[in-house]
Amino acid sequence: MASITIRNLDDDVKRRLRVRAAEHGRSMEEEARDILRQVVGQPSAPKNLGQAINARFAALGGIDLPPTKRSPMRTTPDFE
**Tens digits of residue pLDDT in 12-53:** 999 999 999 999 999 999 999 999 998 887 777 667 888 888
Please give the residue that has the higher pLDDT: either 1 or 35: 35
Residue 20 inside a domain? The answer is yes
Domain count, the chain: 1
34: number of Cβ within 10 Å: 15
- Provide the 3-class DSSP secondary structure of residue 24: helix
Nearest CA to 5 out of 29, 22, 26, 34 is that of: 29
Nearest CA to 9 out of 27, 37, 23, 29 is that of: 29
The predicted pLDDT at position 10 comes to 95
Residue 11 inside a domain? The answer is yes
Residue 1 inside a domain? The answer is no
The predicted pLDDT at position 43 comes to 74
Contact 31, 20 (CB under 8 A): yes
Residue 61 inside a domain? The answer is no
The predicted pLDDT at position 46 comes to 62
Whether the model pTM is above 0.85: no
Residue 77 inside a domain? The answer is no
Domain that holds residue 12: 7-41
